[in-house]
Amino acid sequence: MTTAASPQDRGRTGATRVRDVDPQVLEGLNQGTLQAATLAEALAVDFATLLARIVPGAAETAATAIDPRAGITRRMTQASRLILDHGGATAFDQLAFHRSDTVRGWAAYLLAATPELDLAARLAAIRPLADDPHFTVREWAWLALRDHVAADLTTAIRLLGNWTAEPSANLRRFAVEITRPRGVWARHIKPLAVQPGLGLPLLDPLRADSSRYVQDSVANWLNDAAKTQPEWVRDTCARWLDACHASSATQRICHRAQRSLTTLGKVEVGSCWSGGSAGG
């Protein structure tokens, strides 16, 4: 497995704007020898150049098949389809453990583009990427499979329910993030916006999760739902808080979950809440 940080990656702060990415760093990103240290670096990668390096057979068509003006998720999809055309689904194992975080992200999208796989098989295969040490790969993992989850929501919630008991906070978070009603950079899942209670098998087990990474995801899920079903979010938080028996983790989740509601400023969390700010 080649996903551990290299000496070049370790301790590198990285650029915060695409135009500020160091030319030598950009060269390493485009050649697949460096991982992105920031989102700006991930956005700066020249997909056509990197694809030509990783899948030589696609070199001639990469420049025209990938639109550099398209959004990042669209380009991820375009790259995966080109890889599928030239390398087939068998390329997944090669890509999933590559040095480059972008290439591992392509593996997630290749998995999504591969036909004739049921949802259980896709979720089983995505696990290493959902638990990847790199932040961009974990995001690509849920973004890639989100449409498959939305298309078979009942099955997805049943399967992902097992993920909420995983030792890895990354996997627990994946189960929540992939089902957010209004996910970032993703199409909304209307059934969950209308009936957010469908997601309770994933949310209830994590209402007092010890990981802030998971807590933030649960709170964001509820904040999404608050845009369409605010009373449901208030009722869910009230149930979780259960007077003064809620943990500090639950209190943090509920405060953040209700940040967009008109009552924020003094969110109703029962007598357990003592005021102050938990962050935006």
Per residue in 97-119, pLDDT (tens digit) is: 999 999 999 999 999 999 989 99
User: Distance between alpha carbon 87 and the CA centroid of its chain, in Å?
Assistant: 25
Mean pLDDT of 137-154: 98
Mean pLDDT of 163-173: 98
Per residue in 202-219, pLDDT (tens digit) is: 999 999 999 999 999 999
Is residue 263's pLDDT more than 70?
no
Per residue in 223-238, pLDDT (tens digit) is: 999 999 999 999 999 9
Q: Where are the domains of the chain?
A: 197-280
pTM for the structure as a whole? 0.88
Q: What confidence score (pLDDT) does residue 13 get?
A: 87
d(CA 261, CA 237): 13
Per residue in 11-23, pLDDT (tens digit) is: 678 999 999 999 9
Nearest to 116 by CA among 138, 140, 84, 146: 84
- Can you tell me whether residue 218 is helix, strand or coil? helix
Tokens of 87: 């390398």
